[in-house]
Amino acid sequence: MRLLLVEDTLDVAEAVIIRLERSGIACDLARTVEEARGYLEAQPYDVIVLDINLPDGLGTDLLRDMRAKGDRTPVMMLTAQFSVDDRVSTLNLGADDYLVKPFDQRELEARVRALYRREQGDKGNEITLGTLTFNPTAKVLRKEGVPVTLTRREFSLLELLIRNRGSVMSKDRLYEGLFSFNDAEVGLNAIELYIGRLRKKLAGSKVHIETLRGLGYKLDVDA
Amino acid sequence: MRLLLVEDTLDVAEAVIIRLERSGIACDLARTVEEARGYLEAQPYDVIVLDINLPDGLGTDLLRDMRAKGDRTPVMMLTAQFSVDDRVSTLNLGADDYLVKPFDQRELEARVRALYRREQGDKGNEITLGTLTFNPTAKVLRKEGVPVTLTRREFSLLELLIRNRGSVMSKDRLYEGLFSFNDAEVGLNAIELYIGRLRKKLAGSKVHIETLRGLGYKLDVDA
DNA sequence: CACCGTGTGACAGGTCAGTGACAGATTCAA
DNA sequence: TTGAATCTGTCACTGACCTGTCACACGGTG
């Protein structure tokens, strides 16, 4: 999952990013509205967490512009004071959720995941494929009921593949979902590496990752 | 829209079918889990409405098997009693919606249509030709539902032909679409080669690539 | 019948993917 | 804070398969 955090208070931002990155969400940080616009043009995000009060303007303005352009990316608003009026107008602008500062990190993560899930169209959060059950919120993968330990990156990659099962995911798309701009300079080779590691762990599960040379990878259930 | 109703209570089933057929939804009725499996093997459906309590087993088992096989057809569950636990576990199994009996016919129809719409949205720009379905975003080609593996070049060529189906594509145009300036020095013969390879993979699909000597190629569906 | 454009099998690069080893980074527990 | 364990990502090498050329067969057209 690729997330954009727009927030000017550095310590809040850092705490959030550390937390989210640790659980496998690739985060980019923008500290102004302008910066955020740049990021948004550069690449698509799965979720945006947007502070309202920013040095060069209001987060709500950015939100309005996005919606006016037809961008439907889920947006969670953040702010310190949140009157009932603020709340209503924010939601009316097309925000999907909001959180009042100070907030609990765990709550933020849970809500972000909920937004992502909703976007993906998954009702439940447990996915069964072959002999695998995958639970993105609990971060647990089971093979025939037995837990399989996955590292952060392995988990993120598997989640991307599972959510797009049956479709070919180009190496670029996987790369975008896995790494943020901070993880600069990571080679594309890393994807191949993790694909290999995942394959080992998925062995004997009726689920396999197919390679399509020059196109990407595709996760499928054995016939 | 093609719908499979799995329900053993005849009068309920008939009422539903009459209503849905009247508004243009093609319905098949299965009265047992076994019968439903038969239908599902025989052909794909757009939506499945699935009762939980059936004479020879539970609808939830059928649902679980489908999801384990990677089948993501939207499923709406029906049942008389529906505790919170039932609800959660059903959704976690991969159901997309549920309805408690007795229900309003109009509500059923509205929800079924909602499921269908969402599914169509996901499929987006999927193109069906004869027995082929071609999905450019997922980079997947299926012949009678079975995935056909294509290489990068084959895929590009097929996409060009499909997007211009019915009209003749000159070899030059195909060439321009397939090769960039980097791929300099590739002979025109390469096109013929890939046409040949594609023809083999499209064999038995009611879709054929016609040669128009001196003019180019044309992809068409058999009469 | 000759010609030109097309079909096709075999083959030789060449590119891209798989993999093992390794070093730096990070996490976790004392 | 330190050290062990694990995770991360690079590098280099190997191997597989796609790619496109060549050569030749085929077939319609004039």
Please give the full DSSP string across A10-56, using - where no structure is assigned. HHHHHHHHHHHHHTT-EEEEE-SHHHHHHHHHH---SEEEEESEETT
What confidence score (pLDDT) does residue A84 get?
67
Averaged pLDDT score across all residues of chain A: 89
pLDDT at residue number A120: 76
Q: What is the pLDDT of residue A88?
A: 74
Q: How many CA atoms lie within 13 A of A44 on its CB side?
A: 9
Nucleotide nearest to A188 (CA to C1'): D9
Q: Which nucleotide does the CA of A185 lie closest to, via C1'?
A: D9
B9: domain CATH number is: 3.40.50.2300
Query: Which residue, of A59, A90, A120, is where some domain finishes?
Result: A120
Domain end marker among A120, A144, A175: A120
pLDDT of residue B79: 80
pLDDT at B83: 64
Nearest neighbour of B96 by CB, restricted to A123, A168, A216: A123
From the list B91, B94, B96, the residue facing A128 with the nearest CB is B94
Tokens standing for B53? Answer: 């309590």
**pLDDT tens, residue by residue, A128-139:** 888 998 988 888
Q: Identify the pLDDT of residue B214.
A: 87
A123 with B155: Cβ contact below 8 A: no
Question: From the CA of B170, how many Å to the C1' of D2?
Answer: 71
Return the pLDDT at B161. Answer: 93
In this structure, are A149 and A185 located in the same domain? yes
Q: Is the CB of A151 under 7 A from strand D?
A: yes
Confidence of residue B122 (pLDDT cuts 50, 70, 90): low
Which pLDDT score, from 0 to 100, does residue B198 have?
Answer: 94
Whether residues B42 and B85 share a domain: the answer is yes
- As a whole-number percent, the residues of chain B with pLDDT over 90 amount to 42
CATH of the domain at A175: 1.10.10.10
Number of domains forming the structure of chain A = 2
Nearest to A166 among B64, B138, B149 (CB): B138
Same domain for B18 and B88, yes or no, is: yes
- Tell me: do A40 and A105 sit in the same domain: yes
Could you tell me where the beta strands, DSSP code E, fall in A66-215? 75-79, 97-100, 127-129, 132-135, 140-143, 146-148, 168-169, 207-212
Do B14 and B65 lie in one domain? The reply is yes
> Residue B181 burial (CB < 10 Å; 0-12/13-18/19+)?
exposed
Q: Which of A27-41, A103-117, B25-39, B107-121 has the lowest mean pLDDT?
A: B107-121
Q: What integer pLDDT is reported at residue A152 of this predicted model?
A: 92
Chain B residues within an 8 Å CB radius of A117: none
Which comes out higher in pLDDT, residue B94 or A54? Answer: A54
Determine the Cα–Cα distance for residues A184 and A40; give it in Å rounded to an integer: 17
Residues B93, B135 within the same domain: no
Predicted pLDDT of residue A103: 87
Does one domain contain both B114 and B179?
no
Query: Looking at A72, A105, A120, which one is the last position of a domain?
Result: A120
Mean pLDDT within A181-196: 89
Asked if strand D comes closer than 7 Å to B200 Cβ, the answer is no
Which residue among A167, A215, A218 sits closest to B155, beta carbon to beta carbon? Answer: A215
State whether the beta carbon of A159 lies below 7 angstroms from any atom of strand D: no
How many Cα neighbours within 13 Å face the side chain of B5? 24
Over residues A20-53, the pLDDT tens digits come to 999 899 999 999 999 999 999 888 899 999 999 9
- Residues A34, A54 within the same domain: yes
**Which range, A116-120, A158-162, B90-94, is most confident?**
A158-162
Together in a domain, B14 and B109:
yes
Query: A-chain residues within 8 Å CB-CB of B151?
Result: 212-215
* pLDDT for position A181: 85
Between residues B183 and A132, the one the model is more confident about: A132
Same domain flag for B110 and B142: no
**pLDDT exceeds cutoff 70 at B38:** yes
B99 shares its domain with B171:
no
Residue of chain B with shortest Cα separation from A130: B68
Q: Which residue of B has its CA nearest to A220?
A: B70
* Owning domain of residue B52: 2-123
CA-nearest residue of chain A to B140?
Answer: A167
Q: How far apart are CA A135 and CA A159, in angstroms?
A: 9
Asked if the Cβ of residue A193 lies within 7 A of any atom of strand D, the reply is yes
| Per-residue pLDDT at B85 exceeds 90 | no
Looking at residue B84, its pLDDT comes to 61
Residue of B nearest to A222 (CA): B69
Both A9 and A112 in a single domain?
A: yes
A125 touches strand D (CB under 7 A): no
Per-residue confidence band for A82, with pLDDT thresholds at 50, 70 and 90: low
Structure tokens belonging to residue B47 = 């939506």
